[in-house]
Copies of this chain bind each other. A is one copy, B any other.
């Protein structure tokens, strides 16, 4: 592998500079005002994939474009489909960033920018690995297909139809995804479980306009008061979710999983400090690692009502709303949970206000097999790239497309995280460790070599 390592070492500055250019584009998929930037990012990603040796095409969708590339030059060898996304989360609250979210900034070996780790940085490391493998070996040792979408952060509404329409084009033996994280610094991981997602928004409507809280208080229901009661009713004591039936389909953690998680070198106090909370918290009866990776949760993501400016205003608000989401585990079904929770809220709602529950996106939870040649090849490749063998973990995030790959293509996914658990993804000051960007490229190239040999 020394030739490969040398090749990547030599290109480090160039590779990083290309990533920096991608990160400068504010490809926030949820914001209609930035649709042009999302498109530009797709075009630029396509150009860079072409430069990396892939035959690239951009597919328009009803939403943001899909970038696809392939190089099929290893007859008889297996086919790897690399998946990633070039869209990013919104950057707000912008005033909490130490450097502007779309002006990538290097500091202490990390690159700070929205999308640095989720997912531009991780995904582009794989592209650079594919390029390295090809240039060092003259040709790729596996057939490689690359699918990069622009709507992951809004639930991939147009990816599913695309995959189901392009089954031949996308057919593969394994899907390779780097959109999660290592277990810790220099501790690579293979993620075998992901949580699902059920994201809802509840709107409470009271009077037709904001009212003076003195003149009208006590005469009509206050939508904000009602909202707090509704959301509080979803939560039981001890961190349990109090919605009846919510846990019905939850697959219990297996003994071997709990044993394996207990052995992971997780320092709870260190973790607590890193997130800045006064205490860890979650469902009673489970360790923090179990709750993070393998137990369902309910979090309010955003909430607003009435006067939120400077000072005090004595208003009885006309409306109140709350975005909240539940992370699901096997075998919970996001549609079934959405119905369950909507019904619960509608039943709890007093008849003094109007309550509407609207679904945003959902995703099914997933557990993938830990056996097979691809997993073995990934274990070796991570050891080559990072110097350590990977641990096996379950993560709290959701990658909805993993289910689609399974159903539509019959392909399992290899989830090889290159980021770190405290990379601040979806939050201010998102960052990516620069050395891991380069190691990720080495890992991808090593994986193609191992997997091309049959994984032995």
Q: Residues of A with Cβ closer than 8 Å to B?
A: 30-32, 89-90, 92-93, 96, 154-155, 181, 195, 197, 199, 201, 206-222, 224-225, 227-229, 231-233, 235, 239, 271-272, 275-283, 288, 291-292, 295-318, 320, 322-323, 325, 327, 350-354, 360-361, 395-398, 421, 424-429
Report how far A283 CA is from B219 CA in the complex, Å: 9
Residues in B with CB closer than 8 Å to A299 are: 213, 217, 222, 224-225, 316
Expressed in whole angstroms, the minimum distance between the Cβ of A278 and any Cβ of chain B is 6
Contact flag A228-B225 (CB < 8 Å), given A154-B312, A311-B31, A314-B301: no
Among candidates B207, B291, B292, B304, residue contacting A303 with C-beta atoms closer than 8 Å: B304
Contact A280 B219 (CB under 8 A): yes
Q: How far is the CB of A338 from chain B (nearest CB, A)?
A: 13
The 6 residue pairs across chains A and B that have the minimum distance between CB atoms: A208-B276, A30-B311, A232-B232, A214-B397, A224-B300, A218-B291
A195-B214, A225-B235, A235-B229 known; A207 vs B310 contact (CB < 8 Å): no
> A312-B30, A312-B360 known; A215 and B428 CB under 8 Å?
no
In the complex, A313→B425 CA distance in Å? 11
Q: What are the residues of chain B within 8 A of A209 when measuring CB–CB?
A: 96, 275-276, 424, 427-429
Tell me if B323 and A207 are in contact (CB < 8 A).
Answer: no
Most B-side CB within 10 Å, residue of A207, A295, A427:
A427
User: What B residues does A313 contact at CB under 8 A?
Assistant: 30, 89-90, 301-302, 323, 426
Q: With A291-B219, A297-B217, A350-B281 in contact, do A312 and B307 touch (Cβ < 8 Å)? A: no
Q: Is the CB of A307 within 8 A of B314?
A: no
Contact, CB under 8 Å: A427 / B210? yes
Please judge, given known A-B contacts A210-B427, A219-B275, A288-B219, whether A314 and B199 are in contact too, CB under 8 Å. Answer: yes
In Å, the complex CA distance between A406 and B154 comes to: 60
State whether B282 touches A396 (Cβ < 8 A): no
Do residues B207 and A277 form an inter-chain contact, with CB atoms below 8 A?
Answer: yes
When the two chains form their complex, are residues B317 and A212 in contact, meaning their CB atoms are under 8 A apart? no
Task: Give A18 Cβ to nearest chain B Cβ, in Å.
Answer: 26
The complex places the Cα of A350 from the Cα of B281 at a distance, in Å, of: 10
Contact of A301 (CB < 8 Å), options: B213, B275, B353, B397: B213
CA distance A299 to B228 in the complex (A): 11
Q: Which residues of B contact A154 (CB under 8 A)?
A: 311-312
Look across to chain B and name the residue whose beta carbon is closest to the beta carbon of A92: B309
The chain B residue sitting closest to A199, CB to CB, is: B312
Check B235–A327 contact: CB distance below 8 A. Answer: no
A210-B307 contact in complex given A281-B219, A314-B197, A327-B217, C-beta closer than 8 Å:
no
Question: A120 to nearest B CB, angstroms?
Answer: 16
Measured between alpha carbons, how far is A201 from B354 in the docked complex, in Å? 26
Task: Please name 6 pairs of A and B residues whose Cβ atoms are closer than 8 Å in the assembled complex, sorted by A.
Answer: A30-B309, A207-B275, A211-B424, A213-B301, A281-B352, A303-B306
Given contacts A195-B214, A209-B96, A317-B300, contact A351 B279 (CB under 8 A): yes
* A215 cross-chain contacts in B, Cβ below 8 A: 181, 292, 395-397, 421, 425
A219 touches B292 (CB 8 A): yes
Q: How far is the CB of A161 from chain B (nearest CB, A)?
A: 20
Per the bound structure, the CA–CA distance linking A295 and B154 in Å amounts to: 47
Determine how close the nearest CB of chain B comes to the CB of A91; give it in whole angstroms: 10
Give complex CA distance A29, B282 in Å. Answer: 43
How many Å lie between the Cα of A421 and that of B214 in the bound state? 11
Q: Which of A213, A292, A323, A352 has the most CB of B within 10 A?
A: A213
Is A221 in contact with B396, judged by CB distance below 8 angstroms? Answer: no
Q: For the complex, what is the distance from the CA of A90 to the CA of B210, rounded to whole Å? A: 12
CB distance from A232 to the nearest CB of B (A): 3
CA distance A31 to B282 in the complex (A): 40
Chain B residue numbers with a CB within 8 Å of A217 are 292, 297-299, 327, 396
Given contacts A30-B312, A303-B303, contact A277 B218 (CB under 8 A): no
Q: Are B197 and A427 in contact (CB under 8 A)?
A: no
Q: How far is the CA of A307 from the CA of B311 in the complex (A)?
A: 21
Residue of B nearest to A321 (CB): B308
- Knowing A217-B396, A300-B317, A316-B301 touch, does A228 contact B232 (C-beta < 8 A)? yes
- Residue among B216, B225, B426 making CB contact with A298, cutoff 8 Å: B225
Note all chain B residues with C-beta closer than 8 A to A350.
281
